[in-house]
Structure 1
Amino acid sequence: PIVVSQPPPATPGQAEKHPLHIPIKTGLLSKATGKELQPSMVLELKGEKETFVFDNVPEEPIASILRDFSAPCRLKFERSPDDLAFLMAHDTDDFNRWEAGQTLATIVIKDTYNKLSAGESPPALPGVFVEAWRKVLTATDIDRSLQTYSLRLPDEKTLIGEIAAPIAPDHLHNARQHVRKGLVEACKKELREVYDKLTQEVAAEGGVFKVDEPSIARRRLRNALLISMAVLQDPETVKLAVEHFETGLCMSDRISALYALADIPVAEREAVIQKFYGDSKDDKLKMCKWFAVQAQSDLPDTVERVKELMKHPDFELKNPNKLRAVVGAFANNNFHFHRKDGAGYSLVCDVIKEVDKLNPQMASRFAVFLAGWKNVEPVRSAMMKAQLERLRDTENLSNDTMEIVIKGLSG
């Protein structure tokens, strides 16, 4: 049986809430084969708690619940890592397959984060997770766009919402990188094989750029695989990324090659950055991409690089798109925004003070990043708060920005 409950919380002006009618699309999968024992059917939850019993099920199944995201609600359902890995590898529902993978990846990254925070070495990746990831990577019965998203780990911004404050940003970043690298090392052979297969498909079609759905999905997957392989930072992948850039059929291909090289301190990285600039300097959209890739880099000198980018002839402080591409991208670079010496906070604060004179709305949005000072560990928290206090004491600061600053300091 499946027991489902919905304790409706009280809301302002409505102390007593009545149960909602929630459609829960559900299927049952065989643990032995991964095939469906019970095709999808909709269970209708109308009361606060209901029990659903399935008859004539020949073996103990694994339930796939809330298929196709059949209701806009959060499902709390305890799953073992083994069950999540099974659903990630075998679920016939695309949404649930993706969600199981994201949930399992989050568990593995959180476990690694906890170990690093305790001063311990990062653990080996669970075998069931690696094999499920490999299964998704080599699957041929899955939409390639979904395959791309299913192979992608939750980003740091998402993970922050899953970890209790105060957070150590460097441990979180290193935990995610450890998991990412572990997956790529374990599946390096398959990654290259799938990448080469996709490359051959492009060549078989004459290397012609197409905008149909299959071509877009293939391009998305191929670019994602290149970026994944780049985490190893080995000469083979550097060479591959340069080839990917040089043979790219569109901006998506070339910018993906640039992302693949962005974290690797090699001469080829700088050469590709300059080549992309030379080819794209007259295209404002491409230039925003060019700025953002560098501002999101993991390399140690990223703060200094951002300062140089803000002096670049093609950067304009008055241009909101350029600001978002450089300062916005940097502030979302969790690792370097939270750099241990506080240089990231100081940089963003300096920018806010300048931008506030020109565009208070944009300045106030940047101030939001500093307002989260209570969510990080004490040393960084104190440095973020100090920058908010700098802004509070700034003469003629706009009402827009001051409102965020005051709320941040008092919150």
Structure 2
Amino acid sequence: LRERLASAARYSPDAASAGRRALRNELLGLIALSAPDSGAQLAEAQFAAGDNLTDRLAALAAMTLIPGEAREALIARFAKTYAAEPLVLDKWLMAQALIPESGTLDRVRSLMQHPAFSLTNPNRVRALIGGFAANLTQFNRTDGEGYAFLAEIVIALDRTNPQVASRLLASFKSWRMLEPRRKALAETKLGMVANTPNLSRDVADIAERTLA
């Protein structure tokens, strides 16, 4: 089915073409999950042949699901290809922050040292840190390190951009729905934020309402 959706025509943004691309790219993601070796080959081929950002981003997203050297090579290749395009690098950062693996938190911490990242750049923060907060398996790690990391970032960011910090803190909004262990860990980190001296009104308000 995925091959039947391929088109030899030049890229077109019309609805029918966009729909075919979307379905074809969804199928690529499913192949990556069910048959990693084939998925990696298809993702590499799609990236190499891609004549539009949509297909190349889909290739990157599919490859992030497949651990190994091929993934890291494509991640590096994508960054090099789009090094001069900040908005595309935001998507590159987010794709890595969403990897559903235990090593993702370390990856995110490492990416914070990347030349493309700055805690003073709201778009970068939303892409990398916000992306991690949306990564349900890793933000909600059983050891609580996902909660600790986000709380640390919120406190640090509150000094320079309380609006973005408060939006990140809102990622805790569903903490009461968690099972007891995670719930307790999340509540502890929320309390740590709430008890930080000299919080901005934005962050203090979110912390108080989330804990109420």
TM range (shorter): over 0.9
Q: Distance in 2 between matches of 1:367 and 1:211?
A: 36
Matched, 1:261 2:45: no
Which structure 2 residues correspond to residues 292-311 of structure 1 after superposition, within 5 A? 292-311=94-113
Radius of gyration: which is bigger?
1
Matched, 1:252 2:69: no
Q: Which residue of 2 aligns with 1:280?
A: 82
Structure 1: give runs of 5+ residues left out of the alignment.
1-193
TM-score calculated relative to the size of structure 1: 0.50
1:387 partner letter? K
2:4 partner letter? K
Match for residue 5 of structure 2 among 198, 201, 216: 198
The question of whether the paired residues in 2 share the 8 Å contact of 1:233 and 1:264 is answered with no
Match for residue 172 of structure 2 among 370, 379, 386: 370
Q: Which residue of 2 aligns with 1:389?
A: 191
1:400 partner letter? D
The question of whether the paired residues in 1 share the 8 Å contact of 2:105 and 2:138 is answered with yes
Q: Which residue of 2 aligns with 1:347?
A: 149
Cα distance, 1:392–1:271 mapped onto 2, change above 3 Å: same
Q: Distance in 2 between matches of 1:347 and 1:380?
A: 14
Q: How far does the alpha carbon of each residue in 1:172-200 deviate from its partner, in whole angstroms, 9 at most, with x for none?
A: xxxxxxxxxxxxxxxxxxxxxx111122x
Q: How far does the alpha carbon of each residue in 1:69-97 deviate from its partner, in whole angstroms, 9 at most, with x for none?
A: xxxxxxxxxxxxxxxxxxxxxxxxxxxxx
- Which structure has the higher relative contact order (CA within 8 Å, separation 6+)? 2
Q: Distance in 1 between matches of 2:139 and 2:174?
A: 12
2:25 partner letter? N
The question of whether the paired residues in 2 share the 8 Å contact of 1:371 and 1:408 is answered with yes
Q: Which residue of 1 aligns with 2:19?
A: 217
Shift of 1:299: 2.0
Q: Distance in 2 between matches of 1:335 and 1:236?
A: 25
Q: Which residue of 1 aligns with 2:32?
A: 230
Q: Which residue of 1 aligns with 2:119?
A: 317
Q: Distance in 2 between matches of 1:373 and 1:219?
A: 36
The SS at the match of 1:380 is helix
Higher helix share: 2
Higher strand share: 1
Q: How far does the alpha carbon of each residue in 1:134-154 deviate from its partner, in whole angstroms, 9 at most, with x for none?
A: xxxxxxxxxxxxxxxxxxxxx
Structure 2: give runs of 5+ residues left out of the alignment.
none
RMSD of aligned alpha carbons:
1.2
Q: Which residue of 1 aligns with 2:93?
A: 291
Quick one: percent identity of the two aligned structures? 36
Q: Which residue of 2 aligns with 1:131?
A: none
Shift of 1:233: 4.1
The question of whether the paired residues in 1 share the 8 Å contact of 2:122 and 2:164 is answered with yes
The question of whether the paired residues in 2 share the 8 Å contact of 1:309 and 1:315 is answered with yes
Q: Distance in 2 between matches of 1:313 and 1:397?
A: 29
TM-score calculated relative to the size of structure 2: 0.96
Total equivalences in the alignment: 212
2:192 partner letter? R
Which structure 2 residues correspond to residues 158-177 of structure 1 after superposition, within 5 A? none
Q: Which residue of 1 aligns with 2:158?
A: 356
Matched, 1:327 2:129: yes
Q: Distance in 2 between matches of 1:407 and 1:223?
A: 40
Q: Distance in 2 between matches of 1:234 and 1:316?
A: 33
Q: Which residue of 2 aligns with 1:109?
A: none
Q: Distance in 1 between matches of 2:200 and 2:35?
A: 45
Shift of 1:226: 0.6
Q: Distance in 2 between matches of 1:409 and 1:210?
A: 48
Q: Distance in 1 between matches of 2:149 and 2:38?
A: 36
